[in-house]
Amino acid sequence: MQIGRLFYLSSWFLRSRFLRAERPLQTVLFVSNVCNLACKHCNIYARDQVFHKTYDQIADELRYSYKLGSRFVDYEGGEPFLWRDGPHDMNSLVLLAKEIGFYSATVTTNAQLSFRGCIADSIWVSIDGVGLYHDLVRGEGAFKTAIENIEESGHPKLSINMVVNKLNYPSVKETIEFAKNHPSIKSIALNFHTPYQGTEELMLDWDKRSEIIDEIIAMKKQGYPIMNSVSGLKLMKHNNFKKRCWVTNFIMVDGTKLSECQGKTAGVCDRCGFCMAGEMNSVFAFKPDTITAGMKLRMKG
């Protein structure tokens, strides 16, 4: 299995880098916009029209993505663990992805519900700061509940993701320390707020963002379990690099299929805070630290 995966990743990279074949490697699939929080930075959860996909619809979307070339899927929401369709739950969707041929299926959650017993290859929990800072973004009591469910889950490959904005940036170092010291958390990935319509005031100015990136890089070099590579982080200081967002295809809650990040449609690429953009550019520039980070992520299952 690992040999086959390595061969596919190598061939995908060679075709993409030298033949300019723009085929996705991963899929972000939104299963619903129903959520149990109303986070200040979010532009996905249901405000007016509710979308809640059926199992069969998701199956069709997975087959579509697989045919495009994608081999990794991340299920997102809303809150994915609220998703149900008759007897089917998130474990059903993980098994479905594997049956179709995806190498791994992950779930990104706000951890307000128990996810003990989830069989996803990895779990990403959104933690936007420690204690009060998280709650400033996601609501009172959200941090306490999230940590309780992280500890109760027992999942062996659980990491956290922090989106840095004007409300929580003072907690970046503290959150990285928290990730290092918590026995249930394997690593942390950091992103910056992208100013979708209605959330513009949460974006950090470029000088502050650059300052925080320098702090993250320093901690990375000290051995903290930061998923981002140094090369990728440096690019996010200015965003002046070629975007290769076609590496991920997105299927939105209403079924819209996007060949690139929804930020392109929204016209916010110049202010993008999604650090995977920097990572992908660094991979194609043959940056060893980024390639190593990517292989660790994609080969560990």
Q: Are 16 and 24 in contact (CB under 8 A)?
A: no
pLDDT digits (tens, 9 = 90+) for 30-50: 999 999 999 999 877 656 789
Q: What pLDDT does 275 receive?
A: 95
Prior bond of 78 cis (ω within 30°):
yes
Report whether pLDDT(3) > 70: yes
Domains of the chain with bracketed CATH: 24-299 (3.20.20.70)
pLDDT digits (tens, 9 = 90+) for 175-217: 999 999 999 999 999 999 999 999 999 999 999 999 999 999 9
Report whether pLDDT(53) > 80: yes
pLDDT digits (tens, 9 = 90+) for 206-250: 999 999 999 999 999 999 999 999 999 999 999 999 999 999 999
CA atoms of 256 and 160, how far apart (whole Å): 27
- In this prediction, what percent of the chain has a pLDDT beyond 70? 97
Report whether pLDDT(171) > 50: yes
